[in-house]
Chains A and B, each alone.
Chain A
Amino acid sequence: MAQARISAGRSIAAHAVLITYTLIALFPVFVILINSFKSRKAIFAEPLALPTRETFDLIGYTTVLKQGDFFGYFQNSMIVTVASLFFVLLFGAMAAFALSEYRFRGNLLTGLYLALGIMIPIRLGTVAILELMVASGLVNTLMALILVYTAQGLPLAVFILSEFMKQVSDDLKNAGRVDGLSEYTIFFRLVLPLVRPAMATVAVFTMIPIWNDLWFPLILAPAESVKTITLGSQVFIGQFVTNWNAVLAALSLAILPVLVLYLIFSRQLIRGITAGAVK
């Protein structure tokens, strides 16, 4: 009885902490969303009030949608993000497996070499990257962005995944070898499914900076047909600084797609974890 009361009290305390932090996390997003549906006057008069019948106004959204090609931008961002993510996860997991599984000369050095990329922002090499892309004719293509983001995401992916792969039981892999499985089969069939939660974690961390990047789209692919949504909305905010309705609506529209993308991966994350793979 006493035990039950303690655990009920503890669970209430846990919920209290979590709810408090959830409110802190969501409050600014909430402010943007409610104000994007209000008329200009209402935004300034009562920033925290919900839109009512008198203050409700879609002027911001209609302004945004009349400008620019938001659907096309969205599609470009989607292609770039998903393709980069695929290459980062595949190449990163392969390299992480080689580094954590095999002892060979240069193992530590290769690991350090790949980890170097976590320490230095790839932006420092922008000028040379631009020259490279011009030389290979990739400027203003989505391929240029995919290549850059793959290189950018790999170091962190290798670092995190090899940390997780070290925890995969050696007995299991050796049992596979005794059964005559090739090293490739061991990697794809035994190890990859076991590190799925870690893969989902890496996917989330890799995806966010790619989706939100402004720098490389601006430099490598500024053409209208390959513009990403972050660049599109930034240009828009730049043009309409004083048009608060439009800016708030543009911000709301920019939040939505990445939220959906995150929800897709986080479901994968939950599935990976609840499948009990690592346990």
Chain B
Amino acid sequence: MTRKQRRLVLIGGSVGVLAIAVALVLVSLRDSIVFFNSPTDVVEKHLAVGTRMRIGGLVKPGSLERGDNLNVRFAVTDGNHDVTVRYQGIVPDLFREGQGVVAEGKLEANGSLIADTVLAKHDERYMPREVVDALKKSGRWQEGEVK
């Protein structure tokens, strides 16, 4: 093999692998990303039923209900609108009313969310950034309120 041919093999191989990687990235970006919405977005955007998404806001005080078999139901609010979230399982330690929460799941026909993941942050001084943004958008956020 000449030097040129060797170089061609090398470059060809690299381009091939890169092309595969790019294809993989594009395919998975189309299928596996999840959009984030605030409760207002959910109410106003008229999203299709079954859409997978993340929702963030505060757990509305007084909305938390615990049922049998570890079922929980609560409302996520950004101050303007609420969205009901249903979840079966164990909620995180810092999950409580009035605190920031992020839930991921599928949108139901009645506008509520069936969540398969519920995240609360592990520092009481820290608010998930998505929640901060959602609250800022709805005008319920005061700078310095929670750091």
Tell me whether A and B are bound partners.
no
> B interface vs A, CB < 8 Å?
none
Interface set of A (CB-CB < 8 Å, partner B)? none
